[in-house]
Amino acid sequence: MKKILIICAAALAIAACSEKQGMIPDCAPAAEGSGILNLTMPELSATKAAATDSEKKLNSLYIAIFNSEGRLEISHDCSGTEISEIATSGVKLNVKTGTKDVWAVANVAPSKFAAVTDIASFKAVEVLLSDDSATSFAMEGNVSGISVTSGKTSTASIQLARFAARVQLVKVSNNLPSSYGNLTVKSVHLANVACNDNIGQNAKTSVWCNRLGHSGTLLTEANVIGNGSVKAENASLTFSAVGNAVPNASSVSLSGKYVYGYRNASTADPVARRNGFPANGCRSVLYVIAAIGGIDYWYPIGLGELGSNNSYNVSLTITMPGQRPGDDDFGSLITKGSLSASVTVTDWTDGSDYSETI
């Protein structure tokens, strides 16, 4: 099923290139001097990793249309009614004929675009993970070079993609010596999380959260996420409770244990907290907290590069107790032969497969 946006492109004089246009009552057949642009927004293909309903939800939709010189010609903040009717009646806007670049941005406050006058200032608009929620993920999509001709109909299709990457713990195996007995997977959280980007998706990461597995700016034992009552930053997106017991010499499959962060191109390994958080950041890490014999242990899994709108599946095999919050090397990856993990990309969009053994 496709979500349809219908945008009427009419050769009308516009008082200012950045003037916001309202919805017109009806999209009449194209007359001389005007054209109709039919813009479709298809659902994610069934061959991709399935998205939950909340991950696909549109709470706001902002449309920006730029002319061939890159100047903003039309911007429109869709109403709730328009969003709910996208799949049927669509959205209808007056625009001039000519060659257009059309952008759609979902779940980003329209006020962020107030100063936009051209494509450069539009792409520079900042998006923050802290503005996302589990039911409102920032998304964007665009199509370029659409020719709107007087008296004719043009068509275009935009695929919305999330700024966030998704990481899911899908399986835990208990390969501990039998004397340890069962273990309980208590939670997962994402560390070294990139938390800012821009519409053009070329921003340098300057906002990080859950640095080296800690909450806040102090990298101390008392601030280790999951230690006592210490909560993850942006916890609704970066933390997921689990609570599954895994018998000795057995495995448990999990579903819906999602955590999220923005794209992170760093491949640098995380370091022990005593060295401080690297100035240029480091790769994201999925922490699994498991209780063994009544004691909680932290298992860090290095994820490599995270791409926007990619979904990563993680399987973990535990063979020995993991890290503790007071360990001198907490924040770094486990270098002993006590943990093995595999990371598979089952993408919302195309990506690569990763595997790791530690």
Reading phi first (left if > 0) and then psi (alpha if -120 to 50, else beta), residue 25 is in alpha
35-62 burial: b if 16+ Cβ within 10 Å, else e: bbbbbbbeebeeeebebeeebbbbebbb
Beta strand 126-128 pairing with 153-157: unpaired
Residues with Cβ within 8 Å of 337's Cβ and at least 6 positions away in sequence, in order, are 319, 358
pLDDT value at position 200? 97
Distances (CA, A) of 62 to 75, 97, 109, 113, 353: 7, 21, 9, 9, 34
pTM (global) more than 0.85: yes
pLDDT in tens, 151-167: 666 776 788 899 999 99
**Contacts by residues 28-33 (CB-CB < 8 Å, ≥ 24 positions apart):** 30/150, 30/151, 30/152, 30/153, 31/151, 32/150, 32/151, 33/97, 33/150, 33/151
Give dist(CA 93, CA 24) in Å, integer.
6
Residue 349 CA from chain centroid, whole number: 12
Structure tokens at 161: 């993609």
pLDDT band at 219 (very low <50, low <70, confident <90, very high): very high
Spell out the alpha helix ranges (H) of the chain.
53-56, 80-84, 119-123, 235-238
Give dist(CA 209, CA 331) in Å, integer.
13
Strand ranges in 108-152 using DSSP code E only, listed in sequence order: 126-128, 139-148
Give dist(CA 13, CA 156) in Å, integer.
24
- What domains can you pick out in the chain, each with its CATH number? 2-162 (2.60.40.2580), 164-357 (2.60.40)
Q: Could you tell me which residue, 178 or 37, shows the higher pLDDT?
A: 178
Q: Could you tell me which residue, 46 or 136, shows the higher pLDDT?
A: 136
pLDDT in tens, 58-101: 999 999 999 999 999 989 898 888 787 765 666 767 778 899 99
